[in-house]
Chain A
Amino acid sequence: MRDLYPVRAGNLASRVFGGEAVVMNPADSTLFNLNETATAIWLAADGKTTLRQIVEREICPAWDIDAETALEDAETFARELAAHSILLISTESAKS
């Protein structure tokens, strides 16, 4: 599987409350509430870090879960957010 580089869409409003991100997409007025795991991925999605690195660095140590299972869940989550245009996924780093 190729590495995926998620990055937060730039036109959103967001705030973290008690460890959970609330995200508003002003284009369609949709409000999202991310749980703590999703929030950790969301906050780390800078376009330069792969989803695998995010999972290994942010998810596995905090939630005591094996990397492959977590990566599978994270990819599902990332594609779901991408479908709502609040996360963009690239196969190339923003650096390149």
Chain B
Amino acid sequence: METDQTPHFRRVAILWLIATAILTPIVIFVLGPGLPPGNGSVQASGQTADNIVLLALSVPVAMAVLVTLGYEIWAFRERNLNGPVLDGPAITGNSSIQMWWLIITTTLVLFLAGFGSVRLLQDGSGGGQGPTPLVNPTGHQHALQVQVLAQQWEFTYRYPQYGGIETPTLELPANTLVEFHVTSLDVVHSFWAYQLGVKADANPGEDNIAYVNTKGPLSFAIHCAELCGVWHGYMFETGKVVSQPDFATWIKAMQVQYGPAAKSLPPYSTHYFPEPVGRGS
């Protein structure tokens, strides 16, 4: 058969360039600001920036595949379906293309892994890091410590620096480094503060530390993000970041309001093994 002289590869490359050039700025500037989790905290802003980078990089990759596939289906479709079944050229491979594909995709992947690690190491990214965190933000020795006690099926919070007072709602001061100690009193839960960009699993008998640098006052949604039983879907509430004077007032009011309960609380610890532990009494 006669060789096809149409510059298919060049056409695909041009189409890809145009598609990428149009879509990438749209994705970055139109979709980007709406990407989760927003700018409620330093870590949240970092995550949003990460998501923008990931989305922006995925555009040329997706376009490469979609434009190529789309062009192939259009350009190389067998138009004469009722005639004899003819074969295409017996091309079995092209080591140059394979090599370039390998180089480009490896570079992309290594960049993403490196980028993600660098971002992770900058501020901890709000995720639970276990009892011995790798990333301790500056000033963590003076962080506000808040213990998140997950139980079936609500969260309560203890403030060890305020006499170990336990409260049913979460309030945090603005512009403060908060050190969450997330643990569970029964099964595995997960403390997810959406706008703060914090998620840390609550494991029974384990301390899971997550850091967040709060910014200005806001309300944030708290959901349990790990199936913990029948009311898992109902295990949500609203937390608040308030100004620092407001926080001081609030915590004092909590100490007064929940003082009677505080008398029977066990001493503050990073984890608890409440009774009964096993089956049966």
Q: Do A and B form a real pair?
A: no
